[in-house]
Chains A and B, each alone.
Chain A
Amino acid sequence: MSALDPRAQDAAQPDTKPGKKKILVPRVENGHETMVEIEVDDAEGSGRPQWGPRDALRLVNHELVRVDAVDKVTGCARYTHDVRLPGMLYARFLGCPIAHAEVTVDVAAAKKVPGVVEARVVRDGEVKFLGQPVAVVAAKTREALEDGLRAIVLGIKPLPFAVTREQSLAANAPEVNRRGNASKPNEEGDPAAVAKAFEGCAAVIEATYEVPIQHHACLETHGAVVDVPTNDSATVYHSTQATYASANEFKGPLKVKEVEVVNEHMGGGFGSKFEAGVEGRVASELARDLKAPIHLMLSRRDEFLCAGNRSGCVQTVKLGGDVQGKLVAMQSSIDRLGGLGGGSHAGLPYIYEVATSVRTMRSVYTHLDANRAMRAPGHPQASFGMESALDELAYALGVDLVEIRKRNVGDVHRRQLDRVAREIGWNEHPHKSKPDLSDATTKVGIGFGLSVWGGGGHPECRVTVEISPDGGVRASVGSQDLGTGVRTYVTAIVAEELGLSMSGVTARIGRTSYGPANASGGSMTSASLAPAVKHAAFNARKAFAESLAKTLKSDASEIVFDVQGVYDARSKRRLAWKDACATLGPAGISATGEWQAHLASNGIHGVQSAKVRVDTRTGKLEVLKMVCMQDCGLVLNRTGARSQIFGGMVQALSYALFEQRVVEPDLGIAMNANFEDYKLAASLEIPEMVAILDDEDTRGVIGVAEATVVPGHSAIANAVHNACGVRLRSLPLNPDKLLLGLAGLKKG
């Protein structure tokens, strides 16, 4: 090392921010060593970790390659479905094929099938929803398993059922819920004040908007592989959003004190995988009783019928505004349709400011499985009602679609609206305040939708960062990765703090024993986990610095970790990372971290826009382009964040175009519990997509996933109207509805 610049001694500069200090460190740039000034956390000054200025970040907030990408592209990533244990038995449920019945289950013949080890009743008597598991079979092979399931004899006495809102509310409807098929409406607001406010409106629109029940459609179905419990403990492989917490659910049925849940990779959750469920309980009982590992994953059909859903809704909206498009009065009534569950709806007027409003909301129950949380529960439903009504009002008032939104939201949304409008080409769009009613055979339209979400964190994660004398660094946490790239940002945060490259750190997640972690819900994983990781890495660095200070006879505050290793500003000595680690005792460093409120924030905003083309001869609807601008505080991984934004937009697109649970209203049987008839958007439906990360947001970490799925379908439906004048008030936007709508326009 060449002679060092004496300025390096001048550690603290006077103009530094609180909790920061500036120091000079040697850097090799283009082969030449120079001294550069960098700002670092003044550990002694603030005593707590900081993200630091964004432009000084080296890994976090950059475009990162997922650390587990190679495992996923080579088929090496092991999911629960893939677990194979010696002597393992395959188990599956038999579900009730109709919506409501009195059932007897005879498993005698199934037990006699060669290769079948066990057949059991899971439920008999009254079955309350279509697809409810009534029996289970465990067998040595998948073929024997199927033969066993086929050999079960169900005695079914069909009972009167209600699978639609109309059936549930009919005068002679069968009882679905003991306290009534509709819950008592909850009313908010003053109806008299709203009625008066409508009188002063320049225009008032009234309409009913419907969204169907949507499925999570996780590609990996729900389920677990339960290993044989030993005296006091057991290992369970579980596709779950709650690796740490779900261990407790298995203890009872396994009759053990300790359960290690393993969840290295999971094939989607979207809010449906918080609980062990009937599949987890039955798999545990079988493993315990048969003393064999049990692989019990739901079949695709089961997944559609008994693994939750996004509730549908019917919402009637009356909305009035003044001449400028300021919202003056709103009245709404909302029926949530969540099967046996209460359903979810974020309420109206959703994110918009309306001077006076009143709403009533209730649940209408049916003989279908209960809804579960699904990516931004209640928000996409509310978005469709609100954005559609707002759009209708804009046309009635003759106010620009962007302007009317800007007039009724806050600053962040206004700024995002301008940017998104520019990106989608709104300013050049030829028909902003009325649809194209010409004779053209293809028509283009643009629509908008807005979103909000929380996405803040909670103090649940406990992260361990270990530095070993051989130079290895390991971060461990009992969290899980639903596909957001948790391993990658854990790696980046630790590597950033310790001055290492991504390959210098190993992140371990997906085991209960790695430490407490929150369940992944509400987009709260990043804001809960990242601060704890930062804290653990900060503590590890501090401990390492203290240890080194002793060895080097320096002071911990003089020790700097950067990409070239470790630098002691006092002695001006530089050590390679490995050499510095070698000074550690055999135990190395082990530091833990917990949630740091100041490293996370809460509350995000997004604006989306869609451009569509409608072929008026065939009703073909093509989405040409979608744009999303989204804030989410400090972005941990820019590539991963964009992936999630795209993912939200794609799911909303799919919801707009295709998705709906179809149950035969007369027969009470499932018509589309498969991927042929339950259609998901695929490659040829995907438009040009633009994801803009809102870098004006200088806050701490906030989760981004949920907000991105909220408004896309509303923007698409609004774009259809802007294109051709057909207002589709129910999803999905199928060509049959569009064609009939176009025919209706022609008739005038």
Chain B
Amino acid sequence: MKAFELARPVTLDQALQELEKDSAKRDRTKLFAGGQDLVTELKEHLVEPDKLVDLKRIPGLDRIEVQPDGSLVIGCLVTLATLAEHAETKNFFTALAEAARSVGSAQIRSQGTVGGNLNQRPRCWYYRHELAPCLKKGGSECYAYAGLNKYNAILGGGPSYIVHPSDLAPALVAFDAEVTLRGAKGERKLALEEFYTLPAEADVTRETVLAPDEILTHVRVPAKPGWSSTYVKFKERGSYDFALASVAVAVRAAGSPRTIQDARLVLGGVAPKPWNVPKAAEALLGIDGVKTWTAAGNRAVAGAEPLAHNAYKVPLVKGLILQAMEALAKR
């Protein structure tokens, strides 16, 4: 790590004062919470900020509030461990608790935060290699495209082929979550799905629309009475790994035979952002069973353009959707 100054504001306004306004200089100052991703980036010299702005002394950001209507408001400093064990989250937003529990290890979850998880940087080994000046680091080439791309995107890729590593993001998108971004000029709220960008659509060096002088302060998860959900994550190494692919599914089902009335289906680990596939979710509607699950699987990977070494992700996603739906049907 290069030496840096640590600034410890106690209010959000103070924190915002510390941030760079100029996009070109944004990496000179980094927001610091649990540090579970940032410290690794500092150690690898992927970023060399002059200043870290510690958010942990700002009160009120480390709480999960259950609103009267059943919706959740989750502060950015809530740890993954807290979220994974939170009773309402487990009961009513199961996929979210499962996603939180699937992150890293107990040690990571005790320190890592919701804000950090949503804003973490890619794991692509070219990005993480200091000497490969890839697109994500301001270079001119995505090395994965013609290289060792087993872990890279099959959907939404180009010109960069990273996959977004967050586990919470697919689950939250499946719940139509919305994020609050606080800037000097005030706050804006947007759907989490809109928070993430594709490399072709926006600044290829970023994964989100977060401005350099903004802070993601809260995530709001609207109540979904009568819905059930699950998050299925497939790791190369079960013990401790990022997803090769994951599926967040939320459904509203009733009756006998069980009939799906509404559904959300979001993929993780296969695209540069959480890959929401409403058409696949639509295929789940109707009488629940392998037929609709298979149809959803086919639709979920429609348009997939595998690279040389990641075609396996296509059958993998289909298999995970079957597993996820089977698990939900048994609940």
Contacts and interface: CB of A to CB of B under 8 A. Distances in A.
B148 A671 contact: yes
B129 A669 contact: yes
A620 B240 CA distance: 15
B225 interface: no
B315 A743 contact: yes
Contacts of B311: 740
Interface string B137-176: 0000001001110100000000000000000000000000
A711 interface: no
A662 B238 contact: no
A682 B3 contact: no
Interface string B237-251: 111110010000000
Contacts of B45: 150
Interface in A649-678: 657-658, 662, 664, 666-667, 669-672, 676-677
Interface stretch (B90-98, B113-121, B215-223, B318-326): B318-326
Secondary structure at the B interface, as helix, strand, loop or mixed, is loop
A285 interface: no
Nearest to A620: B234
Interface stretch (A446-454, A502-510, A611-619): A611-619
B184 interface: no
A423 interface: no
A685 B131 CA distance: 33
B331 interface: no
Given A97-B131, A619-B316, A664-B148, A685 B239 contact: yes
B290 to A, nearest CB: 11
A676 B165 CA distance: 14
B244 A684 contact: no
Contact of A150 (B2, B148, B310): B2
A669 B132 contact: yes
Given A682-B240, A683-B239, A736 B319 contact: no
Contacts of A140: none
Contact of B237 (A143, A667, A671, A685): A685
A400 to B, nearest CB: 32
B2 to A, nearest CB: 7
A208 interface: no
B125 interface: yes
B309 interface: yes
B306 to A, nearest CB: 11
A258 interface: no
B244 A735 contact: yes
Contacts of B309: 736
B319 A618 contact: yes
A97 B132 CA distance: 11
B131 to A, nearest CB: 5
Interface string A509-529: 000000000000000000000
A143 B129 CA distance: 21
Nearest to A686: B239
B315 A739 contact: yes
B143 to A, nearest CB: 7
A679 interface: yes
A617 B327 CA distance: 14
A528 B132 CA distance: 50
Contact of A734 (B131, B236, B318): B236
Interface in A675-705: 676-677, 679, 681-685
Q: A657, A669, A740: which has the most chain B beta carbons within 10 Å?
A: A669
Q: B234, B315, B318: which has the most chain A beta carbons within 10 Å?
A: B315
Given A658-B236, A664-B147, A619 B241 contact: no
B131 A682 contact: no
A735 B310 CA distance: 11
Given A143-B3, A740-B311, A618 B236 contact: no
Interface string A86-100: 000000000001100
Contacts, number: 83
B236 A739 contact: no
A432 B19 CA distance: 66
A618 B125 contact: no
A146 interface: yes
Contacts of A676: 123
Contacts of A670: 129
A618 B320 contact: yes
Contacts of A98: 131
A736 B131 CA distance: 28
A667 B234 CA distance: 30
B209 interface: no
Interface in A582-625: 615, 617-620
A212 to B, nearest CB: 13
B1 interface: yes
A443 B165 CA distance: 30
Contacts of B312: 619, 735-737, 739-740
B148 A618 contact: no
A670 B129 CA distance: 8
A726 to B, nearest CB: 13
Contact of A618 (B240, B241, B316): B316
Interface in A517-567: none
A175 interface: no
A620 B234 CA distance: 8
A740 B2 CA distance: 44
A739 B316 contact: yes
A662 B238 CA distance: 20
Contacts of B239: 681-685
Interface in A713-743: 734-737, 739-740, 742-743
A618 B129 contact: no
B230 to A, nearest CB: 15
A147 interface: yes
Q: B148, B318, B322, B323: which has the most chain A beta carbons within 10 Å?
A: B148
B315 A735 contact: no
A229 B144 CA distance: 50
Interface of A: 97-98, 143, 146-147, 150, 615, 617-620, 657-658, 662, 664, 666-667, 669-672, 676-677, 679, 681-685, 734-737, 739-740, 742-743
Given A97-B131, A736-B244, 11 more contacts: A143-B1, A143-B3, A615-B319, A662-B148, A669-B132, A671-B125, A682-B239, A682-B240, A685-B239, A734-B236, A739-B315
15 contacts: A97-B131, A143-B3, A617-B318, A617-B319, A618-B320, A664-B147, A664-B148, A671-B125, A671-B148, A684-B238, A685-B238, A735-B236, A737-B312, A739-B315, A740-B312
Which 4 A-B residue pairs are closest in the complex by CB-CB distance? A617-B319, A682-B239, A736-B312, A618-B319
